[in-house]
Amino acid sequence: MTTMTLSLWLAFLAMALAATFSPGPAVLLAVSTTLTLGARRTAYSSAGNAVGVFLVSCVAVGGMGLLLRAWPQAFTALKLAGAAYLAWLGIRQWRQAGRAAQGGLASAPEGASRAAVFRRGLLVACSNPKAILFFAAVFPQFMPPGRVDIPRFLLLSLTFVASSLAAHLSYVLLAATAGARMLSGRRMLLLQRGTGLLFIGLAAALAFN
């Protein structure tokens, strides 16, 4: 095992923070879950995302990232599957907003159990093949040449997971504050439907990019 210098770890931390604080499907899911279910329930979504991020890092370092780059058909299939899941989330968000408007916005959305919220966070984290390629491209720059240093891999992976949790906490607190002060009635309905459209837009960007 080789020792990882502080400067190298700080460089990775900066890269991880930039990646996790950039709005994407996981952040959008955390915000929409906060607005519909509250900040406490969103913790389960963030936990699912954290587990998913760690699994993605394991898969990437295990060689899946290189396989996807070498076999474009596999990458395309995985990309379309991820896009389909994001589109489903968007359609589901739109329909639930409409049902809430008819039956009262205080009614709990379908699939609001802790397990369901955790599962959505996990699947969103695992549904983007570009995340696998990100880890496959970034990790080798911070690992010893030609081998996998397990302690260093765990340090980098957990650093990325912690950055992801910090980003989620920041967005969740912002959404919870804005929701409590500004959003109610028709505004909440419009925001939820707008969030659904954003999920569909992310799905289209993933599928056709």
- Would you list the DSSP string of 141-184? HHS-TTS--HHHHHHHHHHHHHHHHHHHHHHHHHHHHHHHHH--
Dihedral sign for Cα 56, 129, 164, 113, please: negative
Select the highest-mean-pLDDT range: 60-69, 70-79, 119-128, 194-203. 119-128
Q: How many domains does the chain have?
A: 1
Report yes or no on 33 lying in a domain: yes
Tens digit of each residue's pLDDT (9 = 90 or more) over 112-140:
788 999 999 999 998 877 777 778 777 77
Report yes or no on 8 lying in a domain: no
The answer, yes or no, to whether residue 157 has pLDDT greater than 80, is yes
Tens digit of each residue's pLDDT (9 = 90 or more) over 43-57:
999 999 999 999 988
pTM for the structure as a whole: 0.76
Domain with 119, as residue range(s), is 25-208
Report yes or no on 10 lying in a domain: no
Report yes or no on 4 lying in a domain: no
Report yes or no on 118 lying in a domain: yes
Alpha-carbon distance of 118 to 34, in angstroms, equals 13
Rg, Å, the chain Cα set? 18
Report yes or no on 158 lying in a domain: yes
Residue 166: band (very low, low, confident or very high) from pLDDT cuts 50, 70, 90: very high
Alpha-carbon distance of 205 to 127, in angstroms, equals 14
Report yes or no on 75 lying in a domain: yes
Report yes or no on 120 lying in a domain: yes
State the average pLDDT for the chain.
Answer: 79
The answer, yes or no, to whether residue 60 has pLDDT greater than 90, is no
The answer, yes or no, to whether residue 99 has pLDDT greater than 70, is no
